[in-house]
Amino acid sequence: MAISEETRKTHDTPSKCANPACSCNVSPDRKYCSEQCAGMATMDSCDCGHLECEAYTEQER
C-alpha cells in the first residue's frame, strides 16, 4: 500500500509546540518540545531552554 504524497508531507513536516508561548517545532509524533513546555502549557510562558525558541530568547535578554 503506497502512502499518499499529502500523508507523507504531513508526517514529515514538523509542527509547532502545543505550548502557545513557545515557537519551537516538534516532530509529528510529539505534542510539546520538552517536558518544561508540557508542564507550563497553561501558564502562557515558555522555559524550554532551546536557543531557537523566540519566547526563551526574549526572556534571556
Confidence at residue 58, expressed as pLDDT on a 0 to 100 scale = 58
Strand partners, 15: 26
**Per-position pLDDT tens, the chain of length 61:** 555 555 554 556 679 999 999 999 998 899 999 999 998 878 878 888 888 888 765 555 5
Which alpha helices (DSSP H) does the chain contain, by range?
5-12, 35-40, 54-60
**Longest C-alpha distance within the chain, in Å?**
51
Amino acid at 59: Q
Dist. CA 30–CA 22, nearest whole Å: 14
What's the CATH code, domain 12-60?
2.30.170
Confidence at residue 35, expressed as pLDDT on a 0 to 100 scale = 92
In the chain, domain spans: 12-60
Residue 18 CB-density burial (10 A; 0-12 exposed, 13-18 middle, 19+ buried): middle
Confidence at residue 49, expressed as pLDDT on a 0 to 100 scale = 87
